[in-house]
């Protein structure tokens, strides 16, 4: 475990997951970290915040507002080295690589990011679907 932790820190992650569990029925990815934090991240939230260039663009101004993903699910989780996972969603999206640091940040900032997403949808007259 010490070697894995060192590799994770070398890759820029200060948070190491101790458990990663997919609940398909509830469309949740549960992540526990070695700092004691635990997050239940909805698939919809992970999909609309995907770190892929398709969603995030190449600059903050290029970020896309993804709508209609209320019922999206995660069909597959694949490790990427020892620093991240690639999530495959049932809408075909599979190009986002979720580092441990990103998953921790998404969990920590979930409520703020979610409310900003909902406000952006409302401002454009769009729905979650």
Q: pLDDT (tens digit, 9 = 90+) per residue, 75-88?
A: 999 999 999 999 99
Q: Summarize the confidence of residues 23-43 as an average pLDDT.
A: 97
Helices assigned H by DSSP within 11-99: 43-48, 53-56
* 94: Cβ contacts below 8 Å, ≥ 6 apart: 76, 86, 87, 88
Is the pLDDT at 65 greater than 90? The verdict is yes
pLDDT at 129: 87
pLDDT at 49: 97
Q: Summarize the confidence of residues 1-5 as an average pLDDT.
A: 38
When computed from its CA atoms, the radius of gyration of the chain, rounded to whole angstroms, is 15
* This prediction's pTM: 0.88
């Amino acid at each position: 475990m010490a070697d894995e932790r060192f590799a994770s820190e070398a890759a820029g992650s200060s948070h190491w997951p101790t458990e990663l569990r997919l609940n398909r029925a509830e469309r949740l990815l549960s992540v526990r970290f070695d700092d004691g934090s635990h997050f239940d991240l909805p698939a919809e939230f992970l999909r609309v915040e995907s770190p892929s260039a398709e969603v995030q663009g190449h600059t903050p101004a290029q970020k896309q507002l993804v709508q209609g993903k209320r019922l999206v699910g995660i069909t597959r989780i694949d490790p990427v080295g020892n620093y991240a996972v690639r999530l495959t969603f049932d809408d075909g999206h599979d190009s986002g690589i979720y580092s441990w640091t990103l998953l921790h940040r998404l969990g920590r900032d979930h409520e703020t990011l979610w409310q900003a997403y909902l406000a952006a949808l409302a401002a454009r007259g769009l729905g979650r679907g």
